[in-house]
Chain A
Amino acid sequence: MQVYDMPDKHGHFGPFGGIFVAETLVEALEELRLMYEKYRHDPEFLAEFAYDLKHFVGRPSPIYHAKRLSDKIGGAQIYLKREDLNHTGAHKINNTIGQALLAKRMGKPRVIAETGAGQHGVATATIAARLGLECVVYMGAEDVKRQAPNVFRMKLLGATVIPVESGSKTLKDALNEAMRDWVTNISNTFYIIGTVAGPHPYPMMVRDFQAVIGIEAKQQMQEMMGRQPDAVVACVGGGSNAMGIFYPYIDVEGVRLIGVEAAGHGLETGSHAAPLTANSPIGVLHGNRTYLMQDEDGNIVETHSISAGLDYPGVGPEHAWLKDIKRAEYVAITDDEAMHAFHQLCRTEGIIPAMESSHALAYGEKLARTMSPDQVVLVNLSGRGDKDINTVAKLSNITL
């Protein structure tokens, strides 16, 4: 099998990826690219990263056999990679530590981030506090309202949260605003992007920092089962937790990689956030070329998902590439299906999953049902659901 070695040196994954930014950002990205090249294989840097992942995040995150759930589904065995047990409650912290350590080495005293549900914002604020960096988080004004507890968490951690009032006032607008901040404060600021999107080297760098998920999973599955799973399932908004668990498996034959997008109210309604599954056209947004939900004039359309973390009109360029080369498959799960999986995991296994991860779970269950009990489905449980209890309560007409 040919060894997978992407992206190329210009950050292209086939026709996807690249560096589509205004000239004002080009030098900053080049500086970042060179610094990352310098440190990505540097033993001291990697040792510091590994130390923080172990002692600050609590890695390795365990793999858990959801036996009662598997029995209830009546098909393949469902295993969960427990990223929900990480410090701050999701996989996001892995990447923010990597980038913050880089920021420190680059002598940048200030970090900025965009956030949707607030998980990446919290993870950035957390590591900024730990390293003594100034932290500013951009968050769509709509999301600020919807995710009040995370906004407060960020403030507790000493970050400044700036509500973004432009455009649709959600994640994509927060990203635009963070880019504007970066271009203005380029000399002292490091932009910590939370997903495998953005201009090169971000998609590659974020993937590399998240790959710890897949690297651990491979070893843990070998130890627990003596073999690798038949399928690895992860949710995809921008796609960082999915890239993190997929990447180490790309060259492993016989392991299906399945990304689960948000079908929202249903693909047929147009009210979703599933550019890959809905065959959206290719376009350019946030510094990279990828599949993008857009209208016929090329304007980005508003997306919908019950889960703020999946509510994004594009997708990381490497997912676009993995789809095109048919190494990964992409499917979509509706709000209702995700909610069902959410409640089922709570009641069956005593784990409250994030709404994002509930999409992966829902599809994992669907898939497991078609398989035999001696087969294995590994679901990346990317985060815990404490942040979602208000959303769930509201859907059940309960006031907390």
Chain B
Amino acid sequence: MSRIQSVFAELKAQGKKALIPYFTAGDPHPDQTVPLLHALVDSGADVIELGVPFSDPMADGPVIQRASERALMHKMGLRKVLAMVKDFRETNQKTPIVLMGYANPIEAMGVLQFVNLAKEAGVDGVLTVDYPPEECEDFNKQLAAAGIDSIFLLSPTTEPSRTELIVKQATGFLYYVSLKGVTGAGNLDIVEVKKRVAEIRGSTDLPIGVGFGVKDAETAREVSAIADAVVVGSRMVLAIEQSDEHNLIPNVQALMKELRTAIDSV
């Protein structure tokens, strides 16, 4: 059983939902990434999505774009992200880390080398935003061989026939994008999300995470009533952006606590 599967199984047994915060590695500074990972775990993260900064984050809204830009100013790259995960794993063997990013940094490193290094570092899942299943069969096979889960997005526009195709290749959990747009955009329509999540459940037993529009404790609570996991990205990155080096950890933990409480109240 993969680390991701164990976490979801354990939460299910306890009748709880997963809280998955996202932030971009190297933001606001590379020295703060590993401390932030630990701080997120300490304040209730079940899984962490760690963003790999990229110069052209096409699927991201302005908040996460700015995070990428800040990280790139510190010459943050995929190799360093993997080193950070390895560092984190020295004292934490329990919390799954999912790398979220774009195809080009992986291809620049070489797919095989990336998979090997990711495995060695203790990465549990990979979500490559611009790798739809049709374009990443080999990559998926190599991830599977290394015991790393392939996380895929499903969107409000994904047709049922495509959902079937995606769930066949997905492992770990599925990530349902709750709105038409980029990360951190607009308001999610909870009724629509509920309907779509129910449909997806008809095609798969994988846990379903929902994200892209979770802005506050209230949406987190609503989403957790429907999904197995709540993914909080732009809101988390905004908290990082609005902090300085002294209050960074307290601010992030305060937000986490608020979200955790909301999710656990369901």
Contact = CB atoms under 8 A, between A and B. Distances in A.
B104 A186 contact: no
Nearest to A31: B157
B181 A183 contact: yes
Contacts of B57: 176
B182 A284 contact: no
A298 B132 contact: no
B56 A167 contact: yes
A282 interface: yes
B158 interface: yes
Contact of B158 (A27, A179, A183, A287): A27
A26 B186 CA distance: 20
Contacts of B109: 298
B69 interface: yes
A294 interface: yes
B58 A26 contact: no
Given A167-B56, A179-B58, A299-B72, A21 B182 contact: no
Given A20-B103, A22-B153, A297-B77, A283 B180 contact: no
A286 interface: yes
A27 B157 contact: yes
A166 interface: yes
A23 B182 CA distance: 11
A24 interface: yes
Contacts of A292: 104
B162 interface: yes
Contacts of A179: 58
A136 to B, nearest CB: 15
B181 to A, nearest CB: 4
A20 B132 contact: yes
Interface residues of B, number: 45
Contacts of A184: 180-182, 185-186
Contacts of B23: none
A284 B181 CA distance: 21
Nearest to A168: B55
Interface in B67-111: 69, 72, 77-79, 102-109
A10 B134 contact: yes
Contacts, number: 121
Contacts of A347: none
A319 interface: no
Contacts of B166: 23
B205 interface: no
A296 B59 contact: no
Contacts of A285: 56, 104
B206 to A, nearest CB: 15
Contact of A298 (B69, B106, B162): B106
B157 A180 contact: no
Contacts of B154: 23
B215 to A, nearest CB: 16
B74 to A, nearest CB: 12
B152 interface: yes
B168 to A, nearest CB: 14
A298 B104 contact: yes
Nearest to A176: B58
A250 interface: no
Interface in B143-190: 152-159, 162, 166, 177, 180-182, 185-186
B69 A167 contact: yes
Contacts of B105: 297-299
Contacts of B250: none
Contacts of B155: 22-24, 26-27
A34 to B, nearest CB: 12
B22 interface: no
Contacts of B181: 24, 180, 183-184
B108 A283 contact: yes
A298 B108 contact: yes
A21 B132 contact: yes
A172 B56 contact: yes
A166 B182 contact: no
Contact of A19 (B56, B135, B185): B135
A12 to B, nearest CB: 9
Contacts of A296: 77, 108
A180 B72 contact: no
Contacts of A180: 58-59, 61, 181-182
B259 to A, nearest CB: 24
A281 interface: yes
B8 interface: no
Interface in A276-306: 281-287, 292, 294, 296-300
A19 B181 CA distance: 18
B265 to A, nearest CB: 30
Interface in A173-195: 173, 176, 179-180, 183-187
10 closest residue pairs by CB, A with B? A298-B108, A297-B77, A298-B105, A299-B55, A184-B181, A22-B59, A27-B157, A23-B153, A284-B103, A24-B155
Given A20-B135, A23-B152, 12 more contacts: A22-B129, A23-B158, A167-B69, A176-B56, A180-B58, A180-B61, A187-B180, A282-B107, A292-B104, A296-B77, A297-B108, A298-B104
23 contacts: A20-B135, A21-B132, A22-B58, A22-B59, A23-B177, A24-B156, A24-B181, A26-B155, A26-B158, A167-B65, A184-B180, A184-B181, A184-B182, A187-B180, A284-B107, A286-B56, A296-B77, A297-B78, A297-B79, A299-B54, A299-B55, A300-B55, A300-B56
